[in-house]
Structures are given as C-alpha cells and as structure tokens.
A = this chain, B = another copy of it.
C-alpha cells in the first residue's frame, strides 16, 4: 500500500496541473462572455434587471448546494471513509464542472468559433457533474482520486456528445433529466464497476459499514438533496407555469416516496426497525421518477403515484436486485445507483411516454406547442399561423404527432443506455491500468491511503475491539 499511496504524490499533481494548463489554454483560446455577461452588449435598451442572471442564479445556487453539500455528505456514509466521500466528491465535482463547461460549450454553446459563457452554462455543467457523481456512487470506496478524475475526464465528453445528439436529432422532452442524467449516469457507472469487479468484496469487508456520526451526516446529505431537488428538476424548464409545475410535481413525488420508503423499510427489515440506508437513499426515489414528465400536465395525483412506484421499485432493488447483480453479474454497485437512478429512471421514462401520448390541446391549451416544441406545426402550415395569433412567439416545429414523439423518446432511452454502458465499460478498462493508484482490497473504504488522518479516525473500531477483548477476557 505504501508504494501506491506515495506514488500518488507525483501522479495526482501532474495530472491536475497538466489538466489545468490545458483548461486555461482552452479558456483563453475559445471562451468568451455571452450576451448577458458582456458589457458591450448592454445598451440603453437593456434593463439590467432583465439580465438572465436573475432567472438562473437562484436555481444555480440551489444545485450547487446539492452537488457539494448534498452529494458530499451523502457519500460520506462509510465509517472510515468520511474524508474520502466528502473530499473526493468536492474534487471530482469541481473538475467535472470545469471540464463540462468546455465540452458542452463545444457541442452546444459554440458560435463564431467561441464558447459563450453565462450562469446558464454553469447550470448545464452542473448537470453533467451530477452524472459523474452518480456514477461515482457505483465505485465509492474502491477507487483512488486519480481514477475518479480520469473517469470524469472520459465520462463528461461521452455524456455531452450523447446529450447533444439526443437533443439535436431525437429532440426529446426530458426536463428532469431522467433519460439523459439518471439513466446515462447509472449505466455508465455500472459499466465501470463491472470492469473493476473485486471478487473478495462480495464476501464482505471489515470497513464497509457506517458509524453513528457518519449515518447522521449522510442523512443531512439526503435532506440537502431532498430540499433542493425541485430546483434541480425545474432549472431548465420553460419559465412560468412549466417551471411552477415542475417544482410542484417534484415536491409531491419526493413526499410520496418518503412515506413509502419508511413503510417498506420497516416492513422488509428483519427486526421490524428502520434501516438508515433506506432513509438516506430510497426516500429520494420520487425525485427521479417524476423527472421525465415533471413539467407536463400529469396532475398532482399522478406525481404522487409516480413517487410511490419509484420508491417501491428502488426499495425492492436494494433488497433483492443489488445482491443478485453482485453475485451473478459481477456488478458491485456500491451505493445502489441502479436502484435509485436506473429502475426509477426507467419508470420515469415510461411515465413520460404515457404523458406524451395523452397530451392534447384540451389539457394544455395552445401552450401544448411550447412544451412539446417538436409537435408544433411546420413552417408554412396554416395551423401555425392560427397558433401564432394566440402565442405570438411560437416557433415552427416538426409537426410530430404524439405517437411519433413517444417513439423518439423510446429511441432516446435505448440509445442512451447503450452508449453509456459501452462508455462505462471502456472507461473501466482504462481505470484498471495499474498506473492510477487503485487501493488494494484491504484499503478499500478507508481514508488512510489518501489522507493524513487524525489519531482518532478509527477510535470507535479500536474501542469496540478493546471492549470486546475485555468482555472476552472477563
């Protein structure tokens, strides 16, 4: 172990400094301000308070809290890996956002040969970052910080390319990111962990457990995610009633899944008690499940049902599917991302497709064609002119029917799963190279190889040993 951890001294700084030089060079060459951040674009006709920053920044800060405090605390649930969970999350997230600004900028915000930057790009980059952090959950405790950075380095471009291609060519509705964020992140992470399979860990690991304090910290992480999830699901919807509905549905979905999670946790626990891991994870399932249809007119009751369904699938996944995948398919999914993001993501996609099939002008009024932009009549269609009388700014669409839109959604689901799984597996092979200072099995779930730890870091363990030893003597 010594050899590996000392070797981090050279590798990690070299990687980070090289990457920073590359990033800053690309920033200097290609990144400039967008029309809301550039002083030259402000005239006596622009009202400062109409600047996009006031629409975007409140959602940005909420998502920041989720990324850095929510994920950070939640991933710190291991007894001896609290530094690792929280600090590697900090490192990986910071890098992923910077990298995503450039990569997404190249695909999506690129005109006149420049990437134009505003807070809206940061929000998009934080979504890419969320993808990386979800995938991180699959390999938590079994990877070095260098491996995590390399994973982010590879995952962000694959994600950005998929996102761009799906949005540009398949043109889907996915306000909460159920397809592009949750399914992508899940299957990418499973691909990685499949390759990084460690057979000994299936037999249990002495350090793979929680302490009283780490459990409480993880619940705080859950609560940060829970509280701000409506902002996550609504940050990129249309403004106005669409965003309002997205907030409402997310809150309702989360509430429903929370109650169901408590019910099932007690029911499935062998002592009829609450399991903290369920409180920390399964309660959040509803936030994912409402994602794909979150801005649609699905009705509050449907959001509630989606929350309950997502939670049930997630809970059963933790109980039965995860152990099965680990034993039979070599998929060691450390945080159970397949339950919290995969199964729930699939339910969400199905619900989104139903909502698309049922969407009609009766329910939405003419704004149907704003939410489902691709269903708007094509340029030249007389129906378009009629609609433009009602909604002056309406853009011509593709004249898709509900069924066509649904089929494109299905295509997007399969394409996303396919690309992400393959991308994850390939990334896994790269991460397996001996160069990246992966911890040995013994030092999994342990801060010691990567941090100067204070003397009390394993105090509870030592204490228990002491007490047990004394008990056995007595």
Contact = CB atoms under 8 A, between A and B. Distances in A.
Interface of A: 5-10, 12-13, 16-17, 19-20, 23-24, 27-28, 31-33, 36-44, 46-49, 51-53, 55, 57-58, 61-62, 64-65, 68-69, 72-73, 76, 79, 82-83, 86-87, 90-91, 94-95, 97-98, 117-119, 122, 145, 209-213, 215-217, 219-220, 223-224, 226-228, 230-231, 238-245, 247-248, 251, 255-256, 258-260, 262-264, 266-267, 269, 271-276, 279, 283, 297, 299-301, 304-305, 308, 363-365, 367-368, 371, 390-392, 449-457, 459-464, 466-467, 470
Contacts of A266: 8-9, 12-13
Q: Is the interface of A mostly helix, strand, loop or mixed?
A: helix
Contacts of A241: 36-39, 41-42, 48, 51
Given A39-B365, A44-B391, A61-B230, 18 more contacts: A9-B266, A12-B266, A24-B305, A27-B300, A39-B367, A40-B364, A48-B241, A51-B244, A57-B247, A61-B62, A76-B216, A83-B215, A90-B258, A90-B283, A145-B274, A212-B459, A276-B451, A456-B463
A65 B70 CA distance: 12
8 contacts: A24-B305, A27-B299, A28-B299, A40-B364, A86-B216, A90-B223, A95-B259, A212-B457
Stoichiometry, as copies per complex, reads 3
Contacts of A364: 39-40
Contacts of A83: 212, 215-216, 219, 274, 276
B269 A452 contact: yes
B279 A36 contact: no
A20 to B, nearest CB: 6
A245 B33 contact: yes
A340 to B, nearest CB: 17
Nearest to A393: B44
Contacts of A224: 69
